[in-house]
Amino acid sequence: MDFDIFDVTSRYVAQHPFVPDQHFWDGLKKDIHDQLVQYLSKLSYVDQPETDIANNKLLFNLVFYSVAGSTAHSYSMSVFYEKARTPIIFTPGVVSETVRTPKLLGKGKDVMVYLSNSASLSRDPSILRFDESNFSVTRTSVADAVDFAKKLFVMTNTALPKAEVSATYDCALLDNQNGFRWLTETGQTRP
């Protein structure tokens, strides 16, 4: 599908400052809906994407982050789609969460099943460090987090091809002093 959800979202955020309130989310949901309908209306029924039944009709999952004081929050917005003569597009409410530990997004369930079936990976110290029951901010560096992300992206790309995850990746740091910053492969902030 050639519909670029990231472009739609970026343009919306450029025109509407990010304020995680109902007005912002309702506007973004409407914009995504309207542009998706416009995109799909240009396609014949045969050329429209199939419904992803295996993922409960999920088309996109967008995650936003914000930092206020010493607290980070995530906001997840899901867009569901069902192929029909008049396509059905549904975007339920945004799910907000206070971020306290690292979060695995995307095909996390498939990754966790794969890890549990792989003895060597499930015992890998760089992966175990990020297990929710073992995670410690004081014993974890930014470089550890980047290494963890790299391993997950490469592993998902090679071991779970149906997940359609690229082996390339970007990492960012979200903290209460400096907000959002891109990271290099070694865990240093990019200029």
| Token pair listed for 96 | 């907000």
Sign of the torsion formed by the C-alpha atoms of 17, 19, 23 and 25: positive
| Token pair listed for 169 | 């990746």
Residue 6 and residue 87 share a domain: yes
Residue 166 and residue 81 share a domain: no
Q: What is the pLDDT of residue 94?
A: 93
**Is the whole-model pTM more than 0.85?**
no
Name the residue range of residue 163's domain: 101-191
| Token pair listed for 151 | 């391993």
The tokens 């002093």 sit on which residue? 177
Q: Which amino acid is at 4?
A: D
Concatenate the DSSP letters of all residues of 95-116 into one string: EEEEE-S----SSHHHHHHHHH
Q: Which of 100, 124, 150 delimits the end of a domain?
A: 100
Q: How many domains does the chain fold into?
A: 2
Residue 114 and residue 91 share a domain: no
pLDDT in tens, 133-189: 677 777 788 888 888 878 777 777 777 766 666 667 677 777 767 777 788 877 788
Q: Which of 100, 129, 149 delimits the end of a domain?
A: 100
